[in-house]
Structure formats: C-alpha cells, structure tokens
Amino acid sequence: MVLLAHHMLAYVEMLERDRTRLIDCAKRTDFMPLGSCALSGTSLKTDRAYIAKLLGFSKVAANSMDVVSDRDFIVELISVCALISTHLSRMAEDMILWATKEFDLLDIDDSFCTGSSIMPHKKNPDVLELIRGSAGKVTGHLTEIHILLKGLPLTYNRDLQLDKPALFDTVDTAKNMLLVLVKIVDSLKIKKDSAVKRTQDESFFTVDVMDYLVKKGASYRDAHDILGRIVRDSLDQGKTISSMSTNELKQYSPDLEGDVKKLFNPAMSVKIKSSLGSTNPNLVQRQLSSWSKKLHA
C-alpha cells in the first residue's frame, strides 16, 4: 500500500536525474571546434581562445581530429533524451492502466482522448499511447547514431551528415512528450472514492502482518509460510482474515494477538512504514515540501 503522492514522487526523482544529466551533457559539449578545420588545424594566425570567449564557449577543443570526427556529444544527448522518454513512457503506461475500468483510479481529460471506432462507450487515451510509442523512436535514434559511428575511421566522413535528422527529431520528440504530458497531468482527475474501495482488499496488508510477526521474533521464512496458510484457508472458507477470531489466528501462530487486526487498514499500512524514503505520510509530506521549494526557487 502506497500513497499516490509517493508513487508520483518516484517519477520526480527520475526526472530530476534526467535534468542533471542534461546539465552534465551541456558541460561536455561546451568546447569550441572552430579553428580545427577538417583535420589538422590551420597555419593561419588564429586566437582560438579569444574567439571561444566571443562565442560563449568556456573551452577550446584540444584535438582537431577528435572534434571534427566524433559525435559522442550527440550520442550522449540522445541517450539522455532516450532515458527521459523511457521515464515518460512508464508514467504514461501507469496512467493508461489507471484509467481503465478495471483500475478506475483516474479520469483523463477528453481533450487528450478519442472515441472507439467500434465501442461507443469507450474513451481511448490516445495521446498517452502516442507518448508511450514515441519513446521507441528516440531509442531507435540512439541505436542509429551508435551504428553510424562504430565503423568510421578518423577523421571526417560524409556519413556524419546523417547525424542531424536523428538529433533534431530526438530533441523535438522528447520536448513534445514533456510538454504534452505536463498538460495531461495538470488536468487529471483522481477518483478517490474508487481508490478507497480498492484498498479494502486484505491481500494488500499481508506484508504488514508478516512484519508484525518478524518483530515478535519469527523468521521471515516462517512468517511468510504462516501468512500463506492463513490466506489459503481464508480463501477456501470464503471469509476475510480480519473476521477471524483471535483464537483462530493463534492456531497459525501464538504470536498473533488481537491487535494484529488493526493492520488491515490502508491508513495504518502507510503510517507504520518508518524507513527513510518510504510511503509514510509524514515523510512524503517532507518530500513534497522539499520539492516544492526546489521547483519554486
């Protein structure tokens, strides 16, 4: 059992790492190639350091052959964009699943959906599906550039002019995915009542009961076996675990006291998590406050 905020903060962490990767990538791209010519440099009097300063570069490329022949900065940028698109694709997949009737946890705004060609009652999350599909295109461009570079001798080869379509399309695709997903998330409606109904499934809380037994001295393996038998018998008998009497529970383990029933509660399930980075409401609120300060700084 986790809080929705905790789930979404996972993507905040991923996207923050992506942001720092872009910054790192920009640092490694900040070399001026001008003056390298096509291979060996030039015999003309050239103050490359001065020109770099005028053009806003912090450094001058140290090797003329390297800077005209390699495209690792393109590989790195596309790689970062591929990671960004992968993270956005996973986020889109979560929302696509949550919007289905089976999950029924959120509603996607109609402006990002279309009707079904065969089922008039159905609302298709087409834009999210296109975001998910676009991630494959970016990953394809990454492979394309790697293959383009892998067999090239030094220095410049005409093959390198083919790096532009992959680079430009990657940046445009990743940018559009981000811009659209921001609008989708901003317009999402969470179905709280439906979410509450789905948290009543007692199978969500069996791990909490296992921890309860471990705290009382049981090994993890024994606790796992005990809960397995309880779940099996409750299903066979058609009743919930929380409806069992204390005497019935003690038949599985003498450590199961009446207070274990308080664990069959979604609010309690998240509250008892205490490890740093967990779904505990207080810890999640600290993370939300921390990110709010960072994002509004």
User: Which tokens hold the place of 290?
Assistant: 């921390």
Q: What is the CATH number of the domain that holds 216?
A: 1.10.40.30
Question: Do 181 and 251 lie in a common domain?
Answer: no
Does residue 293 fall inside a structural domain? no
How many C-beta neighbours within 10 Å does residue 181 have? 20
- To the nearest 10°, the Cα dihedral for 49, 51, 55, 59? -20
Question: Do 191 and 255 lie in a common domain?
Answer: no
Structural domain of 265? 201-287
Which pLDDT value is given to residue 200? 87
User: Which of 176, 197, 218 delimits the end of a domain?
Assistant: 197
How many C-beta neighbours within 10 Å does residue 295 have? 9
Print pLDDT tens along the chain (297 aa).
899 999 999 999 999 999 999 999 999 999 999 999 988 999 999 999 999 999 999 999 999 999 999 999 999 999 999 999 999 999 999 999 999 999 999 999 999 999 877 877 778 999 999 999 999 999 999 999 999 999 999 999 999 999 999 999 999 999 999 999 999 999 999 999 999 998 988 889 999 999 999 999 999 999 999 999 999 999 999 999 999 999 999 999 999 998 999 999 999 999 999 999 999 999 999 999 999 999 998
d(CA 241, CA 228): 12
Query: How many domains does the chain divide into?
Result: 3
Asked whether the whole model's pTM tops 0.85, one would answer yes
Which pLDDT value is given to residue 151? 92
Which pLDDT value is given to residue 176? 97
Question: Do 15 and 156 lie in a common domain?
Answer: yes
Does residue 296 fall inside a structural domain? no
User: Which of 197, 230, 256 delimits the end of a domain?
Assistant: 197
d(CA 225, CA 247): 19
What DSSP string describes 134-183? HHHHHHHHHHHHHHHHHTPPSS--GGGGGHHHHHHHHHHHHHHHHHHHHH
Parallel, antiparallel, or unpaired for β 114-115 and 31-32?
Answer: unpaired
Question: Do 97 and 124 lie in a common domain?
Answer: yes
